[in-house]
Structure 1
């Protein structure tokens, strides 16, 4: 599968795979970004994508950025119909200011096939062994 990528900024880098066979494409910051402790900041990548219909881009943490810098991706679903800039929303969960320099990897995206579902209201749902159990309920008696 090929993904078309359009540079929207002269300094933008195309996404890359770190190693052959890696699932995630790495995205890069197009500018220096300062993250105050406990704050969310948008990180511009300077690129737009054309994802094929029937697929979705899911944005995930880069383990090195999350572990070493304390920056966590705050969700990210990129629909195939979206043609705007890919902007990553990251939260600084550390107690110190963090600086991402222009050209640094900030997040990764996985392209995954999905099934579009039809929503149907129901009065009842089928029974399962789990039932209403949640939040660690399988470990309690």
Structure 2
């Protein structure tokens, strides 16, 4: 399988941080690190959220998107996750990637410089055109909403 090439622009406050890269040959995501100042870590109180800089901007190839996803270790150990998971980075965006972290845990969470805070997955996007119609084809489910296909109990 061919590999997509994503150009990574290191911003001044990203100096010294690792360029995102898969950590194993079959890893789906690449870790994003926090580009907060070393002398002033960011504390996220329980129930609060914060925008965390990564120190990088990317050029994602056309026909793809970047998905910012939580790290399972932060979620399991601290109750910290990505608020808008998955966050979408469009192929035409060239600004710094920032991660919205939320602390669902019971203790304040300290984000330190270089801490791995999220993972970035590059995925293909199917282009679509929406067409307004007078009615839709029928299905067994029809307009059944939340929980309509599962067993209730």
Aligned length: 141
Q: Aligned residue for 1:105? A: 116
Using the TM superposition, name which of 25-34 and 80-89 deviates more.
25-34
Using the TM superposition, name which of 14-23 and 43-52 deviates more.
14-23
Q: Which stretches of structure 1, 4 residues or more, deviate above 4 A after TM superposition?
A: none
Separation of aligned partners in 2, 1:139 and 1:52? 39
Q: Aligned residue for 1:42? A: 51
Provide TM-score, normalisation by structure 1: 0.93
Secondary structure of 1:65's match?
Answer: helix
20, 23, 26: which one pairs with 2:25? 20
CA RMSD of aligned residues (A): 1.4
Shift of 1:95: 2.1
- Gap runs ≥5 in structure 2: none
Alignment of 1:1-141 (within 5 A): 1-8=4-11, 9=13, 10-31=15-36, 32-75=41-84, 76-140=87-151
- Gap runs ≥5 in structure 1: none
Shift of 1:16: 2.3
Secondary structure of 1:138's match?
Answer: coil
Separation of aligned partners in 1, 2:6 and 2:118? 17
Separation of aligned partners in 1, 2:58 and 2:67? 13
Separation of aligned partners in 1, 2:96 and 2:124? 21
Secondary structure of 1:137's match?
Answer: coil
Secondary structure of 2:149's match?
Answer: helix
Shift of 1:74: 1.8
Deviations 1:71-112 (CA, angstroms, capped at 9, x unpaired): 111221000000100100111111221112110100011111
Deviations 1:101-128 (CA, angstroms, capped at 9, x unpaired): 1101000111111111112222211111
Separation of aligned partners in 2, 1:108 and 1:50? 16
